[in-house]
Structure 1
Amino acid sequence: MSWLSEKLAKKWFNAGQMHLIERLLREQGRKHVRSYVIAFAMMGVIAACTTFSAYIMKDIIDRIFVDRSIEAMWAIGGAIVTIYVVKGFATYGQQVTLTRIANNIVAEIQTRIFDKMLAMDIAFYNRSHSTEFIARQAFISSAASGALNMLITALGRDILTTLGLTFAMFQQDPVLAVLAVVIMPGAIIGVRKLGAKAKKVMMTEFSGFASILESLQETAQGIRVVKSFTLEGHMRARQSEAIRSFESAANKLARVQSRSSPLMETFAGVAIAAVVVYGGYRVIYNGAEPGNFFAFITALLLATEPVKRVARLQVDLSTSLMGVEMLYEFLDQQEPEKETGTELELKVTQGRVEFQQVEFSYRAGEQVLNGIDFVAEPGETTALVGRSGGGKTTTMAMLLRFYEPTGGRILIDGQDIAQCSRRSLRSQIGYVGQDSFLFKGSIRDNIAYGRPGASEDEIVAAAKAAFAHDFITGFENGYDSPVGEQGMQLSGGQRQRIAIARAFLKNAPLILLDEATSALDTESERAVQEALKQLCAGRTTLVIAHRLSTVAKAERICVIESGKVIEMGRQDQLLAKGGVYALLHKTQFESAALLAEAAAE
């Protein structure tokens, strides 16, 4: 900030804005100081050329039109060409340099935003809409470069040009220069209060932009629901309201940003009129040289545009600084999953998983896990069953460290996973959920996510183990077939088997299955179950299942209710006990029998 007048800056910007500007200069300005110096030098050349344009007007009038000198005409014509050629190349250099800096800053900030997203925990995503991330990338990432370039351009091009032209005016006529300088600054003072209004309106515009993205995304992702429930009219009205809100905010912002124009033009008109009247009087009555007057009036006219841009700086910069403020609010959030690098590496030797009185709550006073206590023995399948909302999925999420226990411990082969790095923990776990997410790309790409860098033979072997190879090769493009957005070009059973192939390729000693077959038809479920049987063989497996038939052969079944394990044992033991599991089993199979009878009729 040494080259920015602190006194002037504090007049234009409040404390919050000054803090943002200083942080921008500290974090980004320093990295590009050499390029900014080059751009600043180019702006100095532009300012000098503009000033010379005003100076040369005196000779144009006095030497060509008054003295009628042919030699002067050619010399001045050549000088004008030289001035504007130099100015053109300097403008090119300045624009290219600033654009390269801006592109670099935008790229770096987009990377930082994405890295920050990856560093946040699941709780952050639970309370945020995905369109917020898209809006940040599209709206906020360019705010920092825009603010910096605005400052540099104002300082280098506009202020230097204004100073040069003001010096030229004082050289030609000090009295007229004082008259102009006294009138023009009033315009700058008059637009200072518009910045706060512009920032407020810009926030509304951003909210409207985010709402448009939100409606677009949810309509695309939920198009089956939209069509089946004939919600086209509702979604159209919702989107129209968001668009109208955005349009209204954009129009209001345009009005606020343009309010400086009448004020600036009025002050400029008053200043120019006063100069013309006084200067004309001196030429007519006092015999002053007309060349001096024309040089002065040229300098004044050339100075009006940079002065207007400087006056608008606080208004225009406020909108960019709002984006910068939102950027830093996001980047300054704590990273719950950030690790120091000193964490232990988890070593899985047998695969014994033990939950010791684990407690957890999403919100204060709403306990979800109330002392979960069980052991999943190595190489065996442990099933978690129970009514919805009992805490089964949360229990599995705790093992992946999506959330941290508020009490108790989780051990793997005697190692407290809270003391181990998340990367080493998750690298030992293969996960298959109910809704297996597939990324945009080919089938091969999605299987390869299990272990990036795997060979073609390994990918094919994983697909065969998951009973997916046959249907994959049945496609025209085989493993190169695109899966579509979220895998929508494949059936549910096909998506599940690709997810299982991905888990096969990972070859992790621990397997987590979160209702991996509950959404499938009977035929697809049979194929997926066979694939899961191959996947789980010899591995420690934790299964969440609503269909009790899928876990009938599990070595251990844990019945979870109200965040506690209330029953545990093999299926025959639990049925003989006649407790909660027996009731669930009876209810489920009686319902299945009634459905079968109804279908037979």
Structure 2
Amino acid sequence: MSVPAPQTDPDRISDLSRRETRIDEPFRSRVGRLKRFGREFLLPHARNLVVAVLAMSVFAGTVVALPWLFKSLVNDILVRRDAGALYEIVGVVLVLFGLRAAAGYLQQYMLSRVSNHVTTSLQNRISNHLLGLDLAFFQKNSVGQIIARATDDVNVLNNTSTNIVVTLGRDLVTFVGLVIYVLWASPQWFLLALAGGPLIAIPAVIANRKLRALMRHGQQLGGEILQAFEEALHGIRGVKAENHEDVERKRLRDVIVGRRKIGLKVARTRAALSPIVDVVTALALVGVLLVGGSQVIDGSSDAGELMAFVSALMLLYEPLRRLLQVNAQLQICGVSIARIYEILDRRPRIVDAAGAVALADPSGAIVFDDVRFGYDPAKPVLDGFSVTIPAGASIAFVGPSGSGKTTVLNLVARLYEPSGGRVTIGGQDIAGVTLASLRESIALVSQDVLLFDASVRANIAYGRPDATDAEIEAAARAAMAHEFIERLEGGYGFRVGPRGTRLSGGQRQRVAIARALLRNAPILLLDEATSALDGAIEAQVQANIFAARKNRTTLIIAHRLATVVAADLICVVRDGRVVEQGDHRTLLGDDGEYAESHRLQSG
């Protein structure tokens, strides 16, 4: 019974634990995706693959030659005791195994080259594509699931695809060569050995179908493990402070054990084919030995022929076992390819419009004209939001959490598109300007500071890598960061650690503000950018920002009203609309929401 297609969020990648698995996806679609992967990632390395396949064919040829060698060994050496034949066989053995060694080395080296190139190409393409996706994609999907596709799935695909190439290039040639030999040597014995074929084929089909479902679930759980580790380690301070280590241990154990259970089911399913092949091979050997041995005894066949045929059957065992696993390997590849292409096929919705032009006047007035927007269309966040921000002015948005303040900044940077109304800068609707020109005109400092595991200097210069040391220091002084940076070991060369964990929250914010000031963009967006600073430093940083705002329009979100009293315009936002606006003195005189909030905060 087919699984009905669920109603999915277009920004979400599939949550396979909720059965969005497409297990009954048409065979043609799966094959088409495999062909596409081969065309896009393997075809560029066709020359290396051809060399590897030729080397594998030579390797396979040395295996196929062994039954003839065994036949000559028995008939010429053991039966006829021909001394001359002994030296010929020794020479053939040396040549065969010399070829085998050379072909094995060349095969492994060429496949490793292809494998490394494909892994690099895949991860580069995924990373480049991810950085171009909309913000909504990252806000609706777990980091673990995204990383799993760029790491786990790429590694699984790399390993299994290499195994498939080896199996098809070497084992298939070996299998076909040996089958031709046994058919030529004795059609009667061959048909006898072939009788057990259906006993292998039916279980293989059932097992491979089950493997496809298990692998999808297992790779989904791999992403959940990454996500669980990321969350636990990122929040380790709170975990330890509140004695939640046991809670996190249980959460991690649950997802790890879940992955282990799936892994055991996969192992059992794949292992089930080996004993079936063993039993069928044993029955074939018994049948051939009984019939062939009787013929050798009565003189209708010679011992060399029987020895060669039996050795060929035994040599067939390993390539046959691996060939039976090819479909399972293809299922594993198919799952990883589907998960990778689920990322690569996703297209950003916020792109340059046809005929988009560069932003002509990034220092111009910013106007919100009856803007409507909701992250969920049924739940509007902004509803008829209108405000005009004069060029070069500083404007502060205040109001309760969830009123739409951060959304306003998101729309200025066109991280989201309004569902109604428009946003203009310098008279241009930003929906018609290029994203590059718009975002090159913006510097953003948010409450969730982005710092990299690099030096303080590199973090401040992130937006302007060509900045001089003097410019970096000037920006740090304006952000009230220079003094604490000088006290760090190594000063501006101090490495801040992953996410800036070797700095305090306030220090991280000041480094981020210095970065934004160094960028010197015409539009500065500050989203609770000084929330971790103490009052005196925050007041000085805000004063420096206001003093340096020449030709810069500054939009500020703050909960502490004392930090925005110097703003040219203050807007009180409630329920997605501006309900009050004016400067600090005017709003206090109006005795509305702002004045009430100011009294409460002032004590």
TM-score tier by shorter-chain length is over 0.9
| Deviation per residue, 1:541-574 (Å, 9 max, x gap) | 1111211111112211111111111221122222
- Partner residue, 1:512: 525
**Structure 1 residue 521 corresponds to structure 2 residue 534:** yes
SS in 2 for 1:552: coil
- Partner residue, 1:501: 514
- TM-score, normalized by length of structure 1? 0.92
Structure 1 CA distance, aligned partners of 2:466 and 2:363? 26
Q: 2:76 is matched with which residue: 54, 60, 63? A: 63
Q: 1:418 is matched with which residue: 418, 431, 434? A: 431
| Deviation per residue, 1:491-512 (Å, 9 max, x gap) | 2222122112111221111111
Could you list the runs of 5+ residues in structure 1 that have no partner in the other structure? 1-12, 594-601
Structure 2 CA distance, aligned partners of 1:55 and 1:337? 67
**Structure 1 residue 180 corresponds to structure 2 residue 186:** no
Residues 11-50 of structure 1 mapped to structure 2, 5 A cutoff: 14-50=27-63
Q: 1:393 is matched with which residue: 403, 406, 423? A: 406
**Amino acid in the other structure paired with 2:263:** A
| Deviation per residue, 1:50-100 (Å, 9 max, x gap) | 111111111111111111122211110111111011011111111211121
Cα RMSD, aligned residues only: 1.9
SS in 2 for 1:206: helix
Q: 1:168 is matched with which residue: 159, 166, 181? A: 181
Q: 2:203 is matched with which residue: 173, 183, 190? A: 190
Q: 1:206 is matched with which residue: 187, 196, 219? A: 219
- Partner residue, 2:559: 546
Could you list the runs of 5+ residues in structure 2 that have no partner in the other structure? 1-25
- Partner residue, 1:106: 119
| Deviation at residue 279 of structure 1 after TM alignment | 1.0
Q: 1:265 is matched with which residue: 273, 278, 285? A: 278
Structure 1 CA distance, aligned partners of 2:447 and 2:560? 13
- TM-score, normalized by length of structure 2? 0.92
Q: Residues 189 and 492 of structure 1: is their aligned pair in 2 closer, same or farther, counting only changes over 3 Å?
A: same
- Partner residue, 1:371: 384
| Deviation at residue 143 of structure 1 after TM alignment | 4.1
Whether the 8 Å CA contact 1:143–1:324 is kept in 2: the answer is no
**Structure 1 residue 329 corresponds to structure 2 residue 328:** no
Whether the 8 Å CA contact 1:500–1:535 is kept in 2: the answer is no
| Deviation at residue 326 of structure 1 after TM alignment | 1.1
- Greater Cα offset, 356-365 or 534-543: 534-543
Residues 171-570 of structure 1 mapped to structure 2, 5 A cutoff: 171-184=184-197, 186-339=199-352, 342-348=355-361, 350-570=363-583
- Greater Cα offset, 14-23 or 407-416: 14-23
Whether the 8 Å CA contact 2:57–2:170 is kept in 1: the answer is yes
Structure 2 CA distance, aligned partners of 1:496 and 1:535? 18
| Deviation at residue 292 of structure 1 after TM alignment | 1.2
Moved segments of 4+, more than 6 Å? none
Residues 14-163 of structure 1 mapped to structure 2, 5 A cutoff: 14-163=27-176
Whether the 8 Å CA contact 1:447–1:501 is kept in 2: the answer is yes
**Amino acid in the other structure paired with 1:282:** Q
SS in 2 for 1:207: helix
Structure 2 CA distance, aligned partners of 1:21 and 1:568? 59
SS in 2 for 1:557: strand
**Identical counterparts, % of pairs:** 36
Structure 1 CA distance, aligned partners of 2:121 and 2:352? 22
Whether the 8 Å CA contact 1:119–1:338 is kept in 2: the answer is no
Whether the 8 Å CA contact 2:480–2:537 is kept in 1: the answer is no
Whether the 8 Å CA contact 2:364–2:427 is kept in 1: the answer is no
Q: Residues 73 and 534 of structure 1: is their aligned pair in 2 closer, same or farther, counting only changes over 3 Å?
A: farther
**Amino acid in the other structure paired with 1:328:** Y
**Amino acid in the other structure paired with 2:370:** Q
| Deviation at residue 287 of structure 1 after TM alignment | 4.3
**Amino acid in the other structure paired with 1:161:** T
| Deviation at residue 412 of structure 1 after TM alignment | 0.9
| Deviation at residue 294 of structure 1 after TM alignment | 0.9
- Greater Cα offset, 64-73 or 209-218: 209-218
| Deviation at residue 188 of structure 1 after TM alignment | 3.1
| Deviation at residue 127 of structure 1 after TM alignment | 0.9
| Deviation per residue, 1:242-285 (Å, 9 max, x gap) | 22111111111110111101111111111111111111011001
Structure 2 CA distance, aligned partners of 1:553 and 1:304? 83
SS in 1 for 2:374: strand
